[in-house]
Amino acid sequence: MAVYESLQLHITADKFLIAPQNAGVSELLVIDRISHEISLEAPQSALPGTDTFKQQIYGIFGVVRLTAGPYLIVITNREKVGDVGGQTIWRVTDTALYSYQKTMLHLTEKQIMDNRTYLSMIELALKTESYYFSTTYDITHSLQRLQNTSPDFLSMPLHERADARFLWNGHLMKELTQQPELGRYCLPILLGFITVKSCNINNKPFDYILISRRCIYRAGTRFYVRGIDTEGQVANYVETEQIVQYDGQKCSLVQTRGSIPVFWKQRPNLKYKPKIAIDTANHHEVFKRHIEDQVFYYGEQVAVNLINSSGSEGQLERALSQSITRLQHQRLRYEYFDFHHECRKMRWDRLAILIDRLSEDINRFGYYMVGNDGVASAYQKGVFRTNCIDCLDRTNVVQGMIAKVVLQQQLGRLGIIEMGQKIDDFTTFKRMYNNIWADNADCISKQYAGTGALKTDFTRLGKRTTMGLLMDGWNSLIRYFKNNFSDGFRQDSIDLILGNYVVEDNEGVVHPTPLQKQRDWKFYAIPVIFVIALAMCTISILMPDEDMTEQFVYVLFWGSASIISMATMYIYGAAFIDNPKLVHTR
């Protein structure tokens, strides 16, 4: 039940026709642009003449409904990532949207403007760098989950057997998946990070693979989506799998990361670190549900918490610790490590203390291993669920170190390295491994925080550097501006593509649109006053006046105006940020 890998899109005045390029295929997908019906037809009777628009495509991303009506989203370019188990993995590099409607004459002027806004949201979501797919392999499941299934499961269409947690175009595919006969056109899309690298140690070639699967539940941006929701889903939840392929054998290690699973918020307000608001009064049941879900999927859990012990992070640490103590779950253990305190003054070698604490769990959990005969010889019995405040920078460092310890065991068991040899003895492989985990950090960080990760100098080089500290400062500054002034729109784009917000029919006429909400007057007036006052103050300083008293008065007046307006923006910070418009309860 593989998905068609190569297709040709034909666009006529009233239909989209999608023809598989596979030899011997005698069907054609037809989408009626007027009635919106989707069907299969014989190519001989349905294919149009040569005067229609034709385009090579590599899959259907889905269908999204905006103010103007439905839009067909197709993959127009791709890049090969590599092979897993002989199955090719691709990265989406370009997409295209085509409206079912031929004109916008049925819309009011305001609806046309709203449609442009929604369209730009979808385009922003599609521009995210790291969408992946395979037409033959289920990339949403780990090797161990795929092994622990029945033959009937493996014969199902890819979209039906995909793990819904990691299916990023599930909402967009609904109009296709409602018809079982269209299974070979339904292409599951994953958002995250995948890399496949060919390696060689001791003249033994093998593949090193890293797959990070970003969850669609409670998905969003750094400050607008924090903590847990009422369904037990947490923000920035990512499953990361390390795979080694050698001589037909495979080893796999799975780790997870996710926001601290209590009710907490940290809304942007122009401050560098907005105040954290914690509500632990009614979170016990959803916390319990989250942990039980994790145990169901992965087995025993070790929750590794890396946040600070002081300040607002300290309050979160105590809330999590108390929740775990209250739950008393037999398959959950808590390991707290104050990353910044323990590694202060660039003493990152002290991370070895944490790895030593986890060593017994690492050995007990083990990893999954399957031979070239398809028979599993080892299973992973539990996972490390790691978090810091954002589940990005500190989290990735520790996950990479845990993965390295297990990789040492895997390479030894596969016979790639010999007794007494260490991964660090092989400089080329060590550099490649470090760069892969740093790239993973950057990719996940861009998707959540808007910039590359911090602390990647340690991941890449094994030590903190002055240049790394400077780059962290620069990325922190970029994060600040994006989190305050562009993440609202980015959050809306994520909610729209995932179906958390659905555009109503006749929105803007019969139904009001959230895009029509008016900004507070302060949003427009005070920044203008600040810019004018600052400009006038600068001009007064740079253009000397014969009357020094008069110049001093000008500088004092405009300087005071700029300071007062800037202070007003700081006090009423929440009125000046870019808030999401489409979904209001998080």
- Statement to judge: residues 243 and 375 lie in one domain: yes
Q: Do 368 and 143 form a contact (C-beta atoms < 8 A)?
A: yes
- Statement to judge: residues 525 and 420 lie in one domain: no
- Residue 46's pLDDT is 62
Q: Which residue, of 374, 398, 425, is where some domain finishes? A: 425
> What's the one-letter identity of residue 79?
E
| Residue 168, token pair as written in the block | 């990023």
> What's the one-letter identity of residue 578?
D
Which candidate, 438, 436, 429, places its Cα nearest to that of 458? Answer: 438
Count of Cβ atoms closer than 10 Å to residue 483 Cβ: 24
CA pair distance 280, 306, nearest whole angstrom:
20
Provide the domain count of the chain.
2
| 352: in domain | yes
- Residue 523's pLDDT is 64
CA pair distance 262, 232, nearest whole angstrom:
9
- Statement to judge: residues 400 and 272 lie in one domain: yes
- Statement to judge: residues 394 and 277 lie in one domain: yes
CA pair distance 566, 531, nearest whole angstrom:
9
Q: Tell me the torsion sign for CA atoms 440, 259, 310, 275.
A: positive
| 136: in domain | no
- Statement to judge: residues 533 and 420 lie in one domain: no
- Statement to judge: residues 384 and 237 lie in one domain: yes
- Residue 400's pLDDT is 97
- Residue 45's pLDDT is 60
- Statement to judge: residues 375 and 249 lie in one domain: yes
| 528: in domain | yes
Cβ neighbours of residue 145 closer than 8 Å, sequence gap 6 or more: 163
- Residue 250's pLDDT is 97
Measure the CA angle with vertex 367, ends 364 and 370; round to 5°: 140
Which candidate, 405, 431, 459, 454, places its Cα nearest to that of 242? Answer: 405
The residue whose two tokens read 């009710």 is: 263
Q: Which residue, of 394, 425, 456, is where some domain finishes? A: 425
Is pTM beyond 0.85? Reply is yes
- Statement to judge: residues 420 and 536 lie in one domain: no
| 580: in domain | no
Q: Tell me the torsion sign for CA atoms 325, 326, 331, 337.
A: negative
Q: Which residue, of 425, 442, 467, is where some domain finishes? A: 425
Query: What residue ranges of the chain have pLDDT lower than 70?
Result: 23, 44-51, 517-524, 544-547, 584-586
| 273: in domain | yes
| 307: in domain | yes
| 160: in domain | no
The boundaries of the domain holding residue 527 are 521-575
- Residue 535's pLDDT is 80
| 235: in domain | yes
- Statement to judge: residues 270 and 381 lie in one domain: yes
